Structure 1
Amino acid sequence: MQKTYNIGVEATMEVIGGKWKPIILCHLRHGALRTSELRRAIPNITQKMLTQQLRELQEDQIVHREVYSQIPPRVEYSLTDYGESLSVVLNQLCVWGEKHIEMKQEQGENINLLNKDDVPTA
């Protein structure tokens, strides 16, 4: 079966589209994270959804899953080299979002942006 895209961004959105994937990927840009660290960084995502999104990103070779044989078992997720190629795009999305929040704040909206340092990681 042949797939047809009308514009390249369709292929991009097929891989990284949706509510959670870009957020997961933005967190992984800073280094490998365990599932529990991702859950703390993304408090509104359910465990089921996080697992599903990580599996899909693995299937698309964007995310690597490393299992360490220790007790208890430790699993870390990181960007693959192919996933790293999205860093420029993800960075631009983050920067645009920050500027958008600033504009909304200047218009009087009550919006908060947690800094990376404000997100618990331990």
Structure 2
Amino acid sequence: MPVSLDGLVLAPVADQAPGQVGTRTRFTYHEKDGEIWADYAGGDVVRGHLVGTREGDRLDFRYVQLKRDGSTSSGHCVSTVVELPDGRVRLEETWEWESQPGNGTSVVEQVTRHDG
């Protein structure tokens, strides 16, 4: 049985390009019956939402976000769920903007309480 993402808080392990999500961004995930969704904020992102599906260890979702400069952007992401040796969860992501040029990969990991 794959580990549930419901209620987990994850954060990027490295900063992306300026104006994108970074190590100060926090994603709060929810999961139910193959559906996933999350709210996120922090750093240059004032508010973001993602919604999609999970099949086994694969997530497929779209995201939208509002940045501090008032601009909005959206894209598509496919992630692989990995359980780390210490029991935390890592998402290995391949993403592509749909509202602007750009694509890449990123890693987010479960935040422990003292990581904040």
Indicate the structure with greater strand content: 2
Tell me the TM-score normalized by structure 2: 0.25
Q: Which has the larger radius of gyration?
A: 1
Tell me the TM-score normalized by structure 1: 0.25
Indicate the structure with greater helix content: 1
